[in-house]
A and B are shown apart, each in its own frame.
Chain A
Amino acid sequence: MTSAQNALLPAAYLVTGLLFIIGLKFLSSPARAKTGNLLAGIGMIVAVVATGFDSHILGWTDILIGGAIGALVGFVSARFVKMTAMPQMVALFNGAGGGAAALVSGGEFLKMFGVGRQLALGELLPIVLSTIIGALSFAGSIIAFVKLQEWMPGRPVTYTGQQIVNAVVLLAVIAIAVSLLLGAGPWFFVALVAAAALLGVLAVLPIGGADMPVVISLLNSFTGVAVAVTGFVLGNSVLIISGTLVGASGTLLTTLMARAMNRSLGNVLFGAFGSVKTAASGPAAASGGTVRTASVEDVATLLAYGRSVIIVPGYGMAVAQAQHAVRELAANLEKRGVDVKYAIHPVAGRMPGHMNVLLAEANVPYSQLHEMDEINPQFDSADVALVIGANDVTNPAARNMPNSPIYGMPILNVDAAQHVVVLKRSMNPGFAGIDNPLYENPKTLMLFGDAKDSVQKLASAVGSA
């Protein structure tokens, strides 16, 4: 091989790394984000094509068959997934990446073991690490998917002795890893994959639906780290660069979100163990106030004759697929000269920025979407705050009830508006299972029913008012 050919691969990987970085940079502006995604995609193609010329590739059958199956599955699911199901889709793709990282490390281990080579500690350590993190991320993502898809309850799954079980599994992972580092054979490797996957399952089970955005983001960064460590296994710079980029950005995103809930990451991950009792005793303690209900006509009049309306969407809007109806309602209000804005809480929905994507799908321009810090001072001058399927992010208990599980979480100050209208399916508490004193506020009107149905009725009532 000539020296020019030798330099080809690293040079291509350098281009890939650069395109990924520039692509991510472009993703910070809505106008350039599309170009950013395209650049990152081109970077990926460059890396794949260049790897095709790697002299270590001796056979193409498995690569082509696997690639074709993966491309078909990936494309079809990406093309047809509903925007409301985006969180679980991302979780699934993320799990696939984590699983692939663990498998690549497994393949390397088998390769070296197969030729009877004694592996040095420095070679084994990254193999073991990327296998643990990859398998954990794979299994954790699958559980996150199953929860978000509501194939199992989204609420935290807890049982007595849970912490002990988790600790035992963690110790098992460590013990198997150490045996492997000391030279144990392939069956220990299989055991490591199984134990790490089990740990992933057990770690995600006790995390509640409302904390899912944080968990998905964390698992995303885990897969990034697994890929980076796989890069150490293969001595491959592009894997190290890209995996680390994702790991670092994912970690930052995760902490930003935990901060938006005013909780530490540790509390999000392990909080369910302690908070279940508090949440269970909540409803009984706070009930007794009166709740005022309203009819569609009452609410439509209130909205149509207001000057400014702030819409507060939450996961309930996503579940009811009400985003298009919401857009129609807003359009009808705007026709009457009502000023309409949307207030987006950073953790509304089941993944960060979830509401923005849903509203964008319904053709709401992003100039109407306002982040919490920006919109909070404006509730004072709003006539109506229209809460659609949002609960915990509007709960004043976060401000003034120190014993509430969400105490200290920054919320949208909807109760500062002249009137508050809450669209809700029933009086059941939200995902977190916490009572919301907002509903007993004298300013508040409740409109019960399916969010999509209610909003559609409101839209036509406002349209003909």
Chain B
Amino acid sequence: MIERVLTELTIFMLAVWVGFEVISKVPSMLHTPLMSATNAIHGIVIVGAMLVAGALIGGAAGHAIGLAAMILATINVVGGFAVTGRMLQMFKAKPGPPK
């Protein structure tokens, strides 16, 4: 148990460092897509939602929780990536033909 927690804390620490490092050079122009992309990435909680929804434990309450978790997590993932993609589609270096 304690070993597992220590390994997890190591992962956590390294991820904190990587998170700071990767973001520190993003120009403010891209802050909205960036925030939207990180927003999509925390949708990874869908993995946890799948495990809870697929576990078939806890009776009716368990079902409700699993189903709700799946719905919310999928909204987060699909909506997050779709909206980020839509935004980035619009960023152009040269003026395009007017719509």
- 7 residue pairs of the A-B complex, CB under 8 angstroms, read A37-B40, A62-B53, A70-B75, A107-B62, A108-B52, A252-B24, A363-B92
0 or 1 for each of A71-104: is its CB under 8 Å from B? (1 = yes): 1011101110101001001101110110111011
Docked complex: A87-138 residues within 8 A CB-CB of B: 89-90, 92-94, 96-97, 99-101, 103-104, 106-108, 110-111, 114-115, 120, 122
Highest count of chain A CB atoms <10 Å: which of B12, B34, B42, B76? B42
Report the bound CA distance from A245 to B76 in whole Å.
Answer: 16
Report the bound CA distance from A70 to B28 in whole Å.
Answer: 31
Interface size on B, residues (CB 8 A): 87
Report the nearest A residue to B78, measured CB to CB. Answer: A74
0 or 1 for each of B1-36: is its CB under 8 Å from A? (1 = yes): 100110010011001111110111111111111111
Q: Is A47 an interface residue (CB 8 A)?
A: yes
0 or 1 for each of A239-283: is its CB under 8 Å from B? (1 = yes): 111111111111011001000100000000000000000000000
Contact of B15 among A103, A240, A324, A363 (CB under 8 A): A240
Contact of A34 among B15, B47, B80, B85 (CB under 8 A): B85
Docked complex: A51-84 residues within 8 A CB-CB of B: 51-52, 54, 56-60, 62-63, 65-67, 69-71, 73-75, 77-79, 81, 83
Contact of A90 among B17, B23, B39 (CB under 8 A): B39
Within the complex, the shortest CB–CB distance from B36 to chain A, in Å, comes to 5
Establish whether residues A237 and B69, one from each chain, have CB atoms under 8 Å apart when the complex forms. Answer: no
**What residues of B have a CB within 8 angstroms of the CB of A242 in the complex?**
41-42, 44
Docked complex: B54-99 residues within 8 A CB-CB of A: 54-59, 61-63, 65-96, 98-99
Docked complex: A332-372 residues within 8 A CB-CB of B: 344, 346, 351-354, 356-357, 360-361, 363-367, 369, 371
Docked complex: A216-245 residues within 8 A CB-CB of B: 216-217, 220, 223-224, 226-228, 230-245
**What residues of B have a CB within 8 angstroms of the CB of A120 in the complex?**
1
**What residues of A have a CB within 8 angstroms of the CB of B16 in the complex?**
244, 247-248
Report the bound CA distance from A367 to B92 in whole Å.
Answer: 9
Highest count of chain B CB atoms <10 Å: which of A23, A63, A233? A63
Q: Is A31 an interface residue (CB 8 A)?
A: yes
Within the complex, the shortest CB–CB distance from A79 to chain B, in Å, comes to 6
Closest 10 CB pairs between A and B? A70-B74, A66-B70, A248-B19, A74-B79, A353-B31, A57-B54, A74-B78, A107-B52, A244-B15, A352-B31
Establish whether residues B93 and A103, one from each chain, have CB atoms under 8 Å apart when the complex forms. Answer: no
Q: Is A406 an interface residue (CB 8 A)?
A: no
**What residues of A have a CB within 8 angstroms of the CB of B68 in the complex?**
66, 99, 103
Establish whether residues A57 and B80, one from each chain, have CB atoms under 8 Å apart when the complex forms. Answer: no
Report the nearest A residue to B94, measured CB to CB. Answer: A365
Establish whether residues A56 and B55, one from each chain, have CB atoms under 8 Å apart when the complex forms. Answer: yes
Contact of B57 among A63, A110, A217, A236 (CB under 8 A): A110
**What residues of B have a CB within 8 angstroms of the CB of A94 in the complex?**
39, 42, 76
Q: Is A182 an interface residue (CB 8 A)?
A: no
Report the bound CA distance from A237 to B26 in whole Å.
Answer: 26
**What residues of A have a CB within 8 angstroms of the CB of B19 in the complex?**
244-249, 252
**What residues of B have a CB within 8 angstroms of the CB of A52 in the complex?**
50
Docked complex: A15-56 residues within 8 A CB-CB of B: 16, 20-21, 23-25, 27-28, 30-31, 33-34, 36-38, 40-41, 44, 47-48, 51-52, 54, 56
**What residues of B have a CB within 8 angstroms of the CB of A351 in the complex?**
31-32, 35
Establish whether residues A31 and B1, one from each chain, have CB atoms under 8 Å apart when the complex forms. Answer: no
**What residues of A have a CB within 8 angstroms of the CB of B35 in the complex?**
90, 216-217, 220, 250, 253, 351-353
Within the complex, the shortest CB–CB distance from B67 to chain A, in Å, comes to 5
Known contacts A58-B55, A361-B90, A365-B93; decide if A27 and B40 are in contact (CB<8 Å): no
Report the nearest A residue to B83, measured CB to CB. Answer: A78
Docked complex: A310-337 residues within 8 A CB-CB of B: 324, 327, 331
Establish whether residues B26 and A357, one from each chain, have CB atoms under 8 Å apart when the complex forms. Answer: no
Within the complex, the shortest CB–CB distance from A386 to chain B, in Å, comes to 19
Establish whether residues A241 and B69, one from each chain, have CB atoms under 8 Å apart when the complex forms. Answer: no
Within the complex, the shortest CB–CB distance from B16 to chain A, in Å, comes to 5
Within the complex, the shortest CB–CB distance from A38 to chain B, in Å, comes to 8
Known contacts A21-B18, A27-B26, A249-B20; decide if A40 and B54 are in contact (CB<8 Å): no
Contact of B93 among A28, A30, A110 (CB under 8 A): A30
Further contacts, 14 of them, CB under 8 A, given A74-B74, A245-B15, A361-B90: A20-B44, A27-B33, A28-B23, A28-B25, A41-B81, A90-B36, A97-B42, A107-B58, A114-B59, A239-B45, A246-B39, A252-B19, A324-B99, A367-B93
